[in-house]
Each structure stands twice: as C-alpha cells, then as structure tokens.
Amino acid sequence: MSMSTSPAEDPSAAVEEPLTEEEYRDRLRELPPSAKLVAKVLETESPLSQGQLADESLLPDRTVRYALNRLDDVGLVGSRYSFRDARKQVYFLKH
C-alpha cells in the first residue's frame, strides 16, 4: 500500500499565492532597518548566500542572519540549496 498523498490531500504541499506590492510593503514596514536593507539587496540580486548578502549589504554576518530570520518570520524570504555548492543555502524574496 502506497503512503504517498496528492498535493490536494497534503496541506504542506499547497502553493503560496504571491503577495501584492501593498502586502509586501506592509510586512516589510514593521521590520528593523537591517531586514529592510537585506530585502533591498535581494530585490536587485537574487539568490544570494548569507556571505554574499553580508558583502553586498556591508552588514556583519550575525546581523544578516538576524535579518533573514525576521524576513522569514513574516514570509518574505525563501531559501534553497545552492546549485553551485550544495553545502550552502541561498536566499530570495517571495514576492
């Protein structure tokens, strides 16, 4: 007996609707300046690793990590493994 489920049966497989520009800006408005800067960098260049984000934003790695966590908390950033180096995650905006 197969244990697979179709996307309709699996709520985690649901596809998220893209955010409108207004929804995106409302979520971003409440975030700290570091998260806004990281989002701005990701708007122009994406996907980027945490190290690349630190280089581009001139923020310390720890601040970039905090900013990415805040962006993730409000559903504005996604991540995947890098095609070039599977040991690294790269980040992108979800709007």
- Stretch 53-57: mean pLDDT, rounded? 97
Predicted pLDDT at 19: 79
Q: How many CB atoms lie within 10 A of CB 24?
A: 18
11 is a domain residue: no
- Stretch 16-44: mean pLDDT, rounded? 90
Predicted pLDDT at 2: 43
What's the whole-number average pLDDT of the chain?
85
5 is a domain residue: no
Whole-prediction pTM value? 0.77
* Domain harbouring 69, CATH code: 1.10.10.10
Count of structural domains, the chain: 1
60 is a domain residue: yes
Which range marks the domain in which residue 29 is found? 19-93
Predicted pLDDT at 15: 52
What are the angstrom distances between the C-alpha of 70 and each of 3, 42, 59, 62?
35, 14, 15, 12
pLDDT at 13 over 50: no
Which residues 6+ apart lie within 8 Å of 5 measured at CB?
A: 13
82 is a domain residue: yes
The residue that leads in pLDDT, 34 or 11, is 34
pLDDT at 36 over 70: yes
